[in-house]
Structure 1
């Protein structure tokens, strides 16, 4: 692995120093902040939200109401 030197202003250095964790190298800081994150699939989150049937019914009802409202507004919109 190679290394590169970069120039930054004192202001930027101060900002970075404030964001870096105690004992963390700048290399580790940049990897933590800008490193590639593992992409998760939507199915990875299945079952992670615990709710009652009543809570789900309320959410479902509100979503359907929102979609109906959106559909009506879209149909009323003049095209062309």
Structure 2
């Protein structure tokens, strides 16, 4: 499930899929490192860095879909 959602983000830039992937990861205590090879093979280091940032924000704050969407928007707005 997580790889499917990550692939949707990587290939189609579907941010909702990234939020869903992180929500599942947080619920099942999976870390971004588990998916690092997959992300780097399918996407890029930037995709992995974004996953790490969103995962860290979700881990420190409230874990709801709305909160994760807000964290992602904040992260994306801070990028150059």
TM-score (norm: length of structure 1) = 0.26
TM-score (norm: length of structure 2) = 0.26
Higher RCO, 1 vs 2 (CA within 8 Å, ≥6 residues apart): 2
